[in-house]
Structure formats: structure tokens, C-alpha cells
Amino acid sequence: MDLNERLNKVKEREKRITENMSKIKYKIAVLSGKGGVGKTTISVNLAVGLMEEGFLVGLLDLDLHGPNIVRMLGIKENPTIENSLIKPPTYLKNMKVMSMAMLLEESQPLAWRGPMKHSVIQQFLADTDWGELDFLIFDLPPGTGDEALSLFQLVKMDGIVLVTTPQKVAIDDVSRAMNFAIEMNQKVLGLIINMSYLICPQCKTKIDLFGENAAKDFAELVGIDVLGEIPMDPAIAKLADAGKPVVSFLRGSEVEKSFRAVIGTMLEKLGKVSTGG
Ligand SMILES: Nc1ncnc2c1ncn2[C@@H]1O[C@H](COP(=O)(O)OP(=O)(O)OP(=O)(O)O)[C@@H](O)[C@H]1O
Ligand SMILES: [Mg+2]
């Protein structure tokens, strides 16, 4: 392929990304500084919660090295190719989900450098049949590496949701992630504080595990909203491993309520969103 052909291909792909993304009302990326703070858990439960409210939702797993969404939703199908487009499998009929895990053997490692990842992310955006959606949620790997960089270069998000746990070390890192998002000209929607507290199983008292308001103080200091707090609950991890998102499999729980509250706050912040594509 000569240089001109290559350039034309790149331009065509960029055009398809713009076209595809313009059919999606709200593009939301879930970002953190530290690993393991709950981004994937939050992406999955926000997506499922929004779907349950009647929105058309897609979920794109951009953690190429550690893709967890397929397990957390218990998805068994793989994508198919139709009319040269990747047709993503769905969770419960209509939530479209795409992940690297669907394209790899289980435990197969990935040793890719930035440009390779950039090209895969472009394909996920340009060549996937997302159709008309109300929301597309992007689950990112921890930190501000290639995946976040590529995504933010390619797509203007309607909001970045930052995730942290209450410890100072996680807050230090989320502060870096926030500044990265701002430098990339992206809009930060707010902060979710995960594993914020524990409800005593016996006496139902709220226990502040880390005993401080550091995350809230941080949000206030830098002028971002707290979208909500999610308690620590072993059921979250257990159900996630079983492919059952807590928001629909632990109805009536404090955890479910906390996710619904975050969704409510998010919708308010985005302005009233009407359902149905
Ligand atoms: N509020 C919570 N209470 C209890 N367990 C939780 C909670 N949130 C997440 N977990 C568990 O913590 C682990 C890490 O969560 P998760 O995979 O969502 O984090 P992550 O930020 O996406 O991680 P990574 O940075 O590796 O992508 C998982 O086992 C998950 O089930
Ligand atoms: Mg994750």
C-alpha cells in the first residue's frame, strides 16, 4: 500500500468514527488513577442500571490487557461480522458489549505497544455496529496510558467519571487522572467514591473504613462534584465473578440504591435525557 492509500484509509476510518459516535447521545468514560478501585464494577453496573431505566446502552471494554467485562456480565457469545462490521454480542438482548476478551483465548497474554492498541481502539469505534445509542460507557484500564490517550484523542466524551477509593494514595492518583482528562480537553462529570464505607452485617451501622473524608475534601478542593458513594460489600465481588451485576441481582440492597443514586445524579448533570436512541 503506498502512502496515499494509507492516508486515505486513515481518513476513511476517522470519518467512520465521527459518524458512529455522532449516533450516540452520551459517551461516558470511566477513569481512575489507581488499579483495582472498581472502574469495571462501576462501568458494568452503570450500564446495566441505565439499561433498566429504558436507555439504549453500549459498553466498551478498553482494558486490552485485563478485560473483565465479559466475566462480570457472564457473556458467552462472540462478536460476528455482518456487512463488514463487527456485530457486538448483547447482554439481555439489547445492551451491546464489546471486549478484547471476546477475541482472545482465555489467559492469552497481549504484548502490544501503543500504536497497536491505538489501531484496535480505532476498530472498536469505527468498525463496530453500535447503532443508535443513548449511552456508550467506556471502561478504561487504570491510569493514563495508551488506551485513555487514544480514546480521548479520537472521541470527545460527554463526561468522564472518575473513580477512587477513600485512601490518600488513590486520591493522589485520581488527581493526576483528572488533570490528564482536562489537558486532553475532556469534561469531567464527577467523582465516584467506591468502597467508601461498610454496613455492619449484624447491627447495620455504617462504618467508615478509612475514617476520613479525604475524597470528598479533594472533590471540593478541585471543584468537581461527588456523583455518589458505593459501599464495600463482599457480595459485589462474589456476584461479579458469577456474571451477575449487583444492581439487578441484589435488589433492595444498600449497594443497589447507591448505584441508582449515582445514575440519578449523572442523569441530572447531563440534563434530562429521553430514552430510546
Ligand atoms: N464496592 C465494592 N465492594 C466490594 N468489592 C468490590 C467493590 N468494588 C469492586 N469490588 C471488587 O474489587 C475488585 C476490583 O474491582 P474492579 O475490577 O471493578 O476494579 P478496576 O478498577 O476495574 O480494576 P483494574 O484497575 O484492574 O481495571 C473486583 O474483585 C471487584 O468485584
Ligand atoms: Mg477494570
pLDDT per residue as tens digits for the range 149-158: 999 999 999 9
Cell numbers 471486549 correspond to what residue?
99
- Give me the pLDDT at residue 211, please: 65
- State yes or no: 36 annotated in a binding site: yes
The answer for residues whose C-beta is within 8 angstroms of residue 121's C-beta and 6 or more apart is 62, 147, 150, 151, 154
CA of 40 to the centre of ligand 1 (A): 7
**Consecutive H or E run containing 189:** strand 188-199
Grid cell listed for 137: 460507557
Residue 276 lies in a domain: no
Own/partner pairs, 236-242, CB within 8 angstroms, 24+ separation: 236/41, 240/41, 240/44, 240/71, 240/72, 241/71, 242/74
What's the DSSP call for residue 97?
A: E
pLDDT band at 274 (very low <50, low <70, confident <90, very high): low
Helices (H), the chain: 3-22, 39-52, 69-73, 114-126, 146-154, 168-183, 214-222, 234-241, 246-249, 254-270
If one compares 5 and 17, the residue with the highest pLDDT of the two is 17
Give the burial class of 111: count Cβ atoms within 10 A of its Cβ; 0-12 exposed, 13-18 middle, 19 or more buried.
Answer: exposed
Residue 118 lies in a domain: yes
Number of the ligand 1 atom closest to the C-alpha atom of 241 = 31
CATH number at residue 227: 3.40.50.300
256 lines ligand 1 (CB under 6 A): no
pLDDT tens digits, residue range 18-65?
999 999 999 999 999 999 999 999 999 999 999 999 999 999 999 999
- State yes or no: 66 annotated in a binding site: no
Residue 275 lies in a domain: no
The domain in which residue 223 lies consists of 3-270
d(CA 244, CA 265): 24
- State yes or no: 49 annotated in a binding site: no
219 lines ligand 1 (CB under 6 A): no
d(CA 139, CA 148): 10
Total domains in the fold of the chain? 1
